Amino acid sequence: MSKPKIVFFCSECGNESSRWLGRCPDCGSYNSLVEQQVFAKPASGLASPGRVSAVVKIGDISEEAAFRQPLDIGEFDRVLGGGLVAGSVVLLAGDPGIGKSTLLLQAAQAIAAAHKEVLYISAEESVHQVQGRAKRMGNLQASFLLASETDLDAIEAHITAVQPALAIIDSIQAISDTALEAAPGSISQVRQCAGRLIRLAKARNLPIFLVGHVTKEGVIAGPRLLEHMVDTVLYLEGERHLGYRLLRGQKNRFGSTDEVGIFEMTEAGLKEVKDPSGLFLSQYSPGSCGNALTVVIEGSRPLIIETQGLVSPAGGPPRRASAGFDYNRLCLISAVLEKQVRLPLSVNDIFVNIPGGLQISEPAADLAVALSLISSQRDRALPQGMVFIGEVGLTGEVRAVSRLERRLTEAARLGLKSAMVPAGALAQDALKGMQFIPVANLKQAAAQALGKN
């Protein structure tokens, strides 16, 4: 083997430098350049020297090039944009134990059930471990092929020999290219292995799933360049100890990133949740103090969720804590309630919870959170069958939100009869059978919601 070459890679953006620098010239991050030894070796690329791609007229390109293979998992297909595009490379990331391998095993079995060969490469588990998990999720298909391999050359040889309809690599951080004298998962290895697999996918028109690890900060491990290299980046989110998982698209060259898929973790794998609003409301307790309903938009889908607020006397310095709701917005709402509604929150502990493991970031839930805190502090329940929608401003005004009519249609579908909405946001007769209570600020909202009790 030839003498190694010393190069430096930026752990943030993947930029390469021939010498160490205190600050990356590309992304500006400090102390991010990591030394790596690179051994020169003739690349085992797929294209022979001198081979070039053909130039074609844009109108002559066959639509087959954009062929999508549905995975027969409706929530998964929704996030992908209708199915898996031939030749695409999809990176699926998420916390350890969240269900990434389980979801891809289900996708593999669905493709194999259509009598198409699927090759699942496990770089972290033996074939017996993978088989045991797959057996718990359903009937094993004869065209579902397994291999336990960490060497990239061997993986390419398996794919060339099998010529599957779908390849799954679990995970990209666990495989390595022997051309590089670096540990698996290092910046140079991840970039090199991903680059070769992407070239393989494009040359053979083969869709490939890559499983990616995440760091403790929740971002994909390895260089950020990896996210730019692949066609689609998906995140599987949720609390490990709760039953629900959300599949979000962060990047998708073949579809929208606005969609979200919702699953429930069961002993037989991930089960699609086709009516998430009904599921989240199944344990709602109407008439309890501190509970309020709102409608949020996840992707293009409206979801009715419960917000829980608790205000209790502080035994020391007052605390602010939230689970599933943005902490900074909680602090903002608390300050507005104290200033504009004269609610004595500075001497109380404040807690907000979104049941079900959902993470809510949009401001449409502000009004529901504010009223749940008022309800808890005054120990008076909010009206039953009412949904609260609106953004709260710093002066206490209730501001309009987007797609209000779609939110209200979802509320009416589940039998809710009234809605508190921003003043002037919607005509009174927009939805028949539903009563609207327009409010301009939090004072009016508190009077309308709690004055009847």
Is 397 in contact with 441 (CB distance < 8 Å)? yes
pLDDT (average), residues 302-328? 93
CATH architecture of 279-450: 2-Layer Sandwich (3.30)
pLDDT beyond 70 at 116: yes
Taking the C-alpha atoms of residue 233 and residue 90, their distance in angstroms, rounded to an integer, is 6
**In the predicted model, what is the mean pLDDT of the chain?**
86
pLDDT tens-digit series, residues 419-435: 999 998 765 455 677 88
Q: How would you classify residue 76: left for phi > 0, otherwise alpha for psi between -120 and 50, otherwise beta?
A: alpha
Each residue's pLDDT tens digit, 393-418: 999 999 999 999 899 999 998 888 89
Q: Quick check: 437 and 422 in contact, CB under 8 A?
A: no
Candidates 76, 106, 254, 222; CA nearest to 168 is 106
The one-character DSSP state at 48 is P
**Which residues of 366-408 form beta strands (DSSP E)?**
386-388, 391-392, 398-399
Beta bridge partner(s), residue 18: none
User: What is residue 429's DSSP assignment?
Assistant: T
pLDDT of residue 237: 86
Question: CA torsion angle for 26, 30, 31, 35 (degrees, to 10)?
Answer: 0
The domain 67-272: what is its CATH number?
3.40.50.300
- Asked if the model's pLDDT at residue 196 lies above 90, the reply is yes
Asked if residue 169 lies in contact with residue 188, where contact means CB atoms within 8 angstroms, the answer is: no
Q: Is the bond leading into 282 cis (omega within 30 degrees of zero)?
A: no
For the chain, how big is the Rg over CA atoms in Å?
26
The Cα 317–Cα 93 span in angstroms is: 39
Q: What pLDDT does 308 receive?
A: 95
Domain residue limits, the chain: 1-39, 67-272, 279-450
Distance CA 81, CA 66 (A): 12
Residue 415, pLDDT score: 87
**pLDDT for res 2:** 54
Q: What are phi and psi of 70, to 5 degrees?
A: -60, 145
**230: Cβ–Cβ under 8 A, 6 or more apart, which residues?**
89, 90, 91, 194, 198, 210, 251
Task: Inform me whether the pLDDT recorded for 153 exceeds 50.
Answer: yes
DSSP 347: T
Determine the pLDDT at residue 451.
73
Confidence class of residue 322 from pLDDT cuts 50, 70 and 90? Answer: very high
* pLDDT above 50 (res 49): no
C-alpha separations of 352 from 241, 317, 339, 357 in Å: 19, 18, 19, 13
The torsion of the CA quartet 241, 297, 405, 78, rounded to 10 degrees, works out to -100
Q: Mean of the pLDDT values across residues 77-85?
A: 91
pTM for the complete prediction?
0.76
Q: What pLDDT is recorded for position 44?
A: 47
